[in-house]
Structure 1
Amino acid sequence: MLDFTSALYLGLAHDHASLRPWKALTAGKPAALHTLPGTPSLAAELAALMGCEAASLGPSTLHLFFDLFETWPAGRATIYADAELYETAWWGVGRAAARHVPVRRFRHYDADSLSSLIRRDACLGRRPVVVADGFCPGCGLAAPIAAFLECIRSCGGWLVIDDTQALGVLGRGPSARVPYGLGGGGTMQWLNVRSKQIIVISSLAKAFGAPLAVFGGTRSFVVDFERRSLTRVHCSPASAAAVHAAEQALLFNQHAGDRTRQFLSQLVARLRQKVARAVRLCGGYFPVQSTPGVSAVPAVTLQERLAAAEIATVLQRDRATGQPRVGMLLTAQHSIRDVDRLAAGILAAIQ
C-alpha cells in the first residue's frame, strides 16, 4: 500500500539505533522538580530557530495550551479565536471559557472581521487575545500575522499562534525558486514578522518527527508561563527519547533540512501539475494536498477507489463547509515514482 497519510513531512522516523543513548527514559519526576539533561539547550535552539527570545518544552501542544489558558489571561480580557482554529488549541481556549473569559469567533484569517469585533468590544475595556493557526493546510495560506498584530497593537493585546504545521517546513526568505524558504523556523520566519506580542506553540511531531512541543515568546513571558504551569507539576515531562529525537531532528535540519524541503516542494509541484487538467487541488504548495469530490465522484468514493488501487489517503472534513475531502500528505520519503502513481490513481479514479 502506497501511504499518503503520514505528516512526517521531512521523512524523519528516528529509529532507536540512530538516537543518542539515554540512561533512563524518564526520571519519574515532573518538570517542576527535574530538568532532563539537554532540555535547556534544546529549548534555546528552538527559540532561535523560531525567532523567539526564549522557549519552554512540553510533552504535547495539548499540555501547553492547557497550561496557557488554565490561568491566563488574567484580569479583564477577551479571546478572539479564528473560526477554523485547530481542535487542540480550541480545547485550551475552552479552559479559559470555563473561567468565564469571553470568547468570540472571527472569520477564518479575516483581519477585518477581527478588527470589527475588537472595535465593537472596545467599550468593555478588555485586553484582546487572538488565537489562530500559523498556517492552514486546508486553504494553503499563512495567517495574516502582521494584520492581526495591527488589530491589537494599540490595546496591548496578545497573538497566540499554533504553528505546528509550519515548523520544520516554512522558513525565512521564500521565493519562486525556494517556495518553503530556508531554515524551517515556521510562519513567523516565513513572513519575516517579529513582535513581543506573539506567543507561539508548536508540536515537533510532524516535520521534525519528535513527540514533544515547544512554547515560545518573550523571555519574561516564558519564565512566567513555567512558573504558572500546572502540567509541569502534575504531569510527566517529555521523555529522554523524545528530547534526543528532537536534538537529532535539529541537527538534520541544520545540515540537510533545506535540501530536503526543496525536494519536497518539487514533489508537491509535480503532483499538482500532473492532475491540473482534471482536478483542482487545495493546499497551495504545502505538502498537505486535498481535493473535494470531483464532478460526479464524491470524496468518499474517490478515497475508496484510491484504496482499491493500493493508495492510502485521508478522508478529511472541510472546516468551512463541513463537506468531506480527500487529503494526501506528501513527505520526503516519497519518490517521484510514488507521486506519479498517486497522480495516475487520482485521474483513473475520477473517470
Structure 2
Amino acid sequence: MLHFNRAHYLDLNPYPQQVTTQPVATGMPAVLYESVQERALAAQLAAMQGQAAAVLGVSTLHLFWDWFEWVRQTPVQVFMAQDTYPFIQLLAKRAFNAQRLQTFRNMAELAQQLARVAAVSAVMVVADSWSLRRNQPFAVNICLQLLAGRRGWLVLDDTQTLGLLGQNPSPSLPFGSDGGGILPWVGAASEQVVLIASLAKALGTPLAVLSGSEAVVQGFRERSHTRTYCSPPSPWLVEHALYALQQHAQAGEWRRRLLVGNIRYFQAQLRGLGIRLEGGVFPVQKLVFPHGWQCVAVYRYLRQRQVETVVTRTDCGACALTVILRAGHRRDAIQRLVQLLRQALVYLRCPLSAELL
C-alpha cells in the first residue's frame, strides 16, 4: 500500500530503539506534577518557535478548550478567520456568543472590523498559521500591524508549520531552516502572539504545545481546567517527542530538502496532464477536477490499486483529490501514483468505463 494520505511531512521516526523507561501515565494531573522532561521539552519548543515560554498539552483540542475558557471570562472581542480549522470554530462558538465573535475573509475585512472596535477594548484574532483551503500562510505581519497599540492577542494554530517551516526561506529552500514554524518563517516576533500546535505532523508525535509570553503561559498554567481535571501528556510520548527533536536537529535540514525535491518532482510529472494543481510549495497538493464525481472516481480507482489519497475541497468549494507528500516517499512511488493518474484520466474521457465504476 502506498500512502499519500499521511501528514508526517518529514518522516521522522520519533520512537527510540531502546525500550522506554517511562510509564504510560502518571496517575495525577499536570497541576500536581510536571516532570523535568516535560519542562525541558516545553522549553525547547518555545525556543524553537521564537517564544518566551511554553506549556505542553495532550492535544490542541485540550489547549484551545482551556484557552477559550480563560479568555471568555474577560470582555474581549473575537475575530476568527473563516478558514480556521473546524473544531476550533466549534470551540469558539461554544465559548463566545454572536455579539462577541465575528469572522473575516481577508485582512481588509479584518481591518474594517477592528476599526469599529474602540481602541481601549481587548481583541483576539484567531486563525490557522497555514490555510490548507487557501494554500497560503496567514498574513502574520499585517495582522500584528493592525493589532499594534491595542490590548489583545493573535492566536494561531501552528500545527501545519511547526517542524516544517523556519527562518530564512529562499527560492531554493522555501521551507527555510530550523523548523520553528510560522514566526521564524515570516520573521515576526511579538508578545501578542500565542501559538497552539500539535507535534503530530512534521515531528510525528501526538502531543501539543501552547507558547507565548511568560505572563500568558503562567496565566494559562494557573487557569487551565484540563491541567487540573484531566490526565497530562503521557511521559512515554514526552520521551518520544524529545527524541524526535533530537532527530530533527540531526537530520531536519536534509529531510526538508528531500521533501522539497519530492514536491517539485511530483509537480513536474503532472505537467501536461491537464489537471489543475493547487498547493504551491506545501506538501499538501490538491488536484482539482471540474466535477465532484470525477474526483471520487479517481480516488476509488487509486484505492483499488493500493494507493491511498484524500478527498477534500478547495477554498471555492470544488472537489479535490489531495496528495500529501513526505520526505520518505521514494521517486518510484511517486512515479507509480502519476502513472495511475494518467490511466485514470484516460478512463475519465470514457464516462461509462467500468474501470471507474
Give your verdict on TM over 0.5.
yes
Residue of structure 2 in register with 1:264 after alignment: 259
Cα separation, partners in 2 of 1:47 and 1:132, compared to 1, 3 Å: same
Matches within 5 A, 1:171-186: 171-186=166-181
Cα separation, partners in 2 of 1:220 and 1:312, compared to 1, 3 Å: same
Q: CA deviation at 1:297?
A: 6.5
Matches within 5 A, 1:216-227: 216-227=211-222
TM-score w.r.t. length of structure 1: 0.93
More divergent stretch after superposition (322-331 vs 77-86): 322-331
Given that residues 292 and 319 in structure 2 are in contact (C-alpha distance below 8 angstroms), is that contact kept between their aligned partners in structure 1? Answer: no
- Cα distance between partner residues in 2 of 1:94 and 1:160: 16
Q: CA deviation at 1:76?
A: 2.1
- Cα distance between partner residues in 1 of 2:297 and 2:115: 46
Given that residues 67 and 224 in structure 2 are in contact (C-alpha distance below 8 angstroms), is that contact kept between their aligned partners in structure 1? Answer: yes
- Cα distance between partner residues in 2 of 1:153 and 1:328: 39
Identity of aligned residues (%): 34
The match for 2:284 among 267, 270, 288 is 288
| Alpha-carbon displacement from aligned partner over 1:80-137 (angstroms, at most 9, x marks no partner) | 0000000232233134215x77100000xx21110011112338x5322000100123
- Cα distance between partner residues in 2 of 1:21 and 1:79: 43
Given that residues 140 and 285 in structure 1 are in contact (C-alpha distance below 8 angstroms), is that contact kept between their aligned partners in structure 2? Answer: no
Helix, strand or coil for the counterpart of 2:303?
Answer: helix
The match for 2:203 among 194, 202, 208 is 208
Given that residues 46 and 54 in structure 2 are in contact (C-alpha distance below 8 angstroms), is that contact kept between their aligned partners in structure 1? Answer: yes
Q: Which amino acid aligns with 1:8?
A: H
Residue of structure 1 in register with 2:45 after alignment: 46
Residue of structure 2 in register with 1:317 after alignment: 313
Helix, strand or coil for the counterpart of 1:289?
Answer: strand
- Cα distance between partner residues in 2 of 1:20 and 1:215: 29
- Cα distance between partner residues in 2 of 1:345 and 1:246: 36
Residue of structure 2 in register with 1:244 after alignment: 239
Residue of structure 1 in register with 2:339 after alignment: 344
The match for 1:102 among 87, 100, 103 is 100
Moved over 6 A (4+): none
- Cα distance between partner residues in 1 of 2:328 and 2:260: 13
Aligned pairs, number? 345
Helix, strand or coil for the counterpart of 1:38?
Answer: helix
- Cα distance between partner residues in 2 of 1:289 and 1:330: 8
* 1:299 lines up with 2:298 in the alignment: no
Helix, strand or coil for the counterpart of 1:154?
Answer: coil
Residue of structure 2 in register with 1:34 after alignment: 33
More divergent stretch after superposition (234-243 vs 304-313): 304-313
Q: Which amino acid aligns with 1:341?
A: R
Given that residues 297 and 350 in structure 1 are in contact (C-alpha distance below 8 angstroms), is that contact kept between their aligned partners in structure 2? Answer: no
Q: CA deviation at 1:20?
A: 6.5
Q: CA deviation at 1:276?
A: 2.2
Given that residues 288 and 328 in structure 1 are in contact (C-alpha distance below 8 angstroms), is that contact kept between their aligned partners in structure 2? Answer: yes
Residue of structure 2 in register with 1:62 after alignment: 61
Given that residues 12 and 248 in structure 2 are in contact (C-alpha distance below 8 angstroms), is that contact kept between their aligned partners in structure 1? Answer: no
Given that residues 80 and 126 in structure 2 are in contact (C-alpha distance below 8 angstroms), is that contact kept between their aligned partners in structure 1? Answer: yes
Cα separation, partners in 2 of 1:19 and 1:39, compared to 1, 3 Å: farther
Let me know the Cα RMSD of the aligned residues: 1.8
Q: CA deviation at 1:73?
A: 4.5
Given that residues 13 and 244 in structure 2 are in contact (C-alpha distance below 8 angstroms), is that contact kept between their aligned partners in structure 1? Answer: no
Helix, strand or coil for the counterpart of 1:41?
Answer: helix
